[in-house]
Amino acid sequence: MKNLPHYFNDSPHLTVHTRGILDMNGSIEGVNLKPLNIIPDERGWLMEILRCDDEAFEKFGQVYLTTAYPGVVKAWHYHKKQTDNFTCIRGMMKVVLYDAREESSTKGNLMELFIGEKNPLLVTVPPDVYHGFKAIGTGTAYFLSIPNLPYNYQSPDEYRIPPDSPDIPYDWGLIPGLKHG
């Protein structure tokens, strides 16, 4: 593990991959990561995010955009039915996933991902896996989500706990005075 701070080198539970992915206890069953390619030319550039012939694609639910201001954490939540597909299209985000599923072979595993302009990556998160993100850097981060189900306003499929919950062994480094959650 070259070019990492010394505390990473001493961790027996950390696998380092390229493209800004830190598997803190290994991978998480059902999570898919797709590197996104930028195709530039003299007119600008194009980046395909999700295609109907991608391995991660199940069906279309909706597309939405949300933002986070620098240092703000939006975590933790999971869905019982919905599969999430998301990326950061502007700025940078730290995305963290936690597997609390009793029946999962990867129960207790954490994944920390750094995604965005400098590392375009599509993340697919299956139902019942906690996830959240933090905007890193000095600008607003833009988060594009393509879940396989539309949002149900009468009965939302979203289950939340606070970002500093003792149920998940992760420290976001919350900044006092900012609204998190």
For residue 140, the model assigns a pLDDT of: 97
| Run of H or E residues at 86 | strand 84-90
pLDDT tens for residues 27-80?
Answer: 999 999 999 999 999 999 999 999 999 988 999 999 999 999 999 999 999 999
Q: How far is CA 10 from CA 1, 61, 112, 120, 168, in A?
A: 10, 43, 17, 28, 22
Q: Check if CATH label 2.60.120.10 holds for domain 13-160.
A: yes
Q: What is the pLDDT of residue 25?
A: 59
Report helix, strand or coil for 84. strand
Domain boundaries of the chain, sorted by first residue: 13-160
CB atoms under 10 Å from CB of 81, counted, come to 11
Q: Indicate the SS3 state at residue 8.
A: helix
H-run or E-run covering 6: helix 6-9
Q: Residue 58 corresponds to which amino acid?
A: E
Q: What is the pLDDT of residue 18?
A: 45
In this predicted structure, the answer to whether residue 90 has a pLDDT above a threshold of 80 is yes
Per-residue burial over 63-79, b if 16 or more Cβ lie within 10 Å, else e, is: eeeeebebbbbbbbebb
Residues 108 and 14: their CA atoms lie apart, in Å, by 13
Report how far residue 62's alpha carbon sits from residue 34's, in angstroms, rounded to the nearest whole number.
19
Per the model's pLDDT, the better-predicted residue between 20 and 77 turns out to be 77
Q: How confident is the model at residue 1 (pLDDT cuts 50, 70, 90)?
A: very low
Whole-number percent of the chain with pLDDT over 70: 86
Q: What is the pLDDT of residue 178?
A: 87
Residue type at 69? Y
Q: Counting every residue, how long is the chain?
A: 181
pLDDT at residue 181 in the model: 87
Residue 98: which of 56, 131, 51 has the closest Cα? 131
- Report the predicted TM-score, pTM, of the whole model to 2 decimal places: 0.85
Please tell me the predicted confidence (pLDDT) of residue 136: 96
Share of the chain above pLDDT 90, in %: 81
